[in-house]
Amino acid sequence: MSPRDRATDALAALPSIGLDALTADAALLTRVDRKYVVPMDAAASLLHALHRSADAPSALEIAGERELAYRSVYFDTPDLLSFRLAAHGRRRRFKLRTRTYLDTGAAYLEMKTRGARGLTRKERDEYDIGAAERLTSAARDDVAEAFGAIGVAPARADDLDARLQTRYRRATLLLPGVIPSRATVDLDLEWVDADGAGFTLPRFAIVETKSPGQAGALDRALWRAGHRPQRVSKYATGMAALRPDLPRNRWTRVLSGPFASPASLSPSRPARKDTPCAAA
């Protein structure tokens, strides 16, 4: 059995939980996120170990599915203002994307902004799935207003266009404890830029823990297995991997490891006709 199949098998063995129960038990409006880029065989072994543990997590299940398909389209200016603000660690920065839940047909516009005081604000609104590859006039107006609050010229909202999309399958876990926490496991990771170039990471998973503060049991299990949190952003790290001319020091560790290893980095399959960035 392949490591990928072992991961699917381990997820299927976990107790299931519905979306309403997951949200009620671990809404985590204030949380600490830790990301790990884990080889697929190690991720499969970890999931099997969790299944056998006394406090096994529950896996989110919707319509009989535990691995839900996601597509995110990231928007940036021609000079990649969002990317560059992140690459240089600027306190005032933003990230803008649409996220489509392909199994349910729901889409959202999500914007993260960080102001001068370092506070992060995330806004999320329902979005027309038919417009997931572009920004509507109303969306640009909202973005322009958010730009003004972080010191970016509002007119720059007119320059935004689709620059990168990511596709992956995500499993969401509810981790038991005095204060329940969550984790996500992203599999079948794929990046495609506006020109149709892209790559996949078939031999790696991205595990993200979301806890109210201190590290939880899953973090400690990852540490014992030799995995430490890494600085990785699906948008910024993906852009840096696709564009060697861009600043990359902030993500050197993953760019020189999982994102650069010939054994794990393979050419992406041709973009589908409904791929937003293929038509951007």
First CA to last CA distance, the chain = 39
Q: Is the pLDDT of residue 52 over 80?
A: yes
With b meaning 16 or more CB within 10 Å and e meaning fewer, what string describes 148-158? eebebeeebbe
- Tens-place pLDDT, residues 67-85: 999 999 999 999 999 999 9
Written in H, E and C, the secondary structure of 129-156 is HHHCCCCCHHHHHHHHHHHHHCCCCHHH
Q: Is the pLDDT of residue 262 over 80?
A: no
More confident residue, 265 or 267: 267
CB atoms within 10 A of CB 29: 6
Q: Do 190 and 272 contact (CB within 8 A), yes or no? A: no
Q: Which domains does the chain have, with CATH numbers?
A: 3-278 (2.40.320.10)
CB atoms within 10 A of CB 164: 27
More confident residue, 55 or 87: 87
| pTM > 0.85: yes or no | yes
Q: Is the pLDDT of residue 28 over 60?
A: no
Check residue 133 and give its pLDDT. Answer: 97
Check residue 196 and give its pLDDT. Answer: 87
Check residue 279 and give its pLDDT. Answer: 36
Written in H, E and C, the secondary structure of 189-250 is EEEEECCCCEEEECCEEEEEEEECCCCCHHHHHHHHCCCCCCCCCHHHHHHHHHCCCCCCHH
Half-sphere exposure of 111 (CA within 13 A, CB side): 25
Backbone φ, ψ for residue 190 (5° rounding): -145, 140
- Average pLDDT of 92-96? 93
Check residue 278 and give its pLDDT. Answer: 39
Q: Do 103 and 76 contact (CB within 8 A), yes or no? A: no
Q: Do 80 and 163 contact (CB within 8 A), yes or no? A: yes
Give the mean pLDDT of the chain: 87
Q: Is the pLDDT of residue 263 over 60?
A: no
CB atoms within 10 A of CB 184: 19
Q: Do 208 and 183 contact (CB within 8 A), yes or no? A: yes
The model's confidence at residue 117, banded by pLDDT at 50, 70 and 90, is low
Candidates 59, 66, 65; CA nearest to 176 is: 59
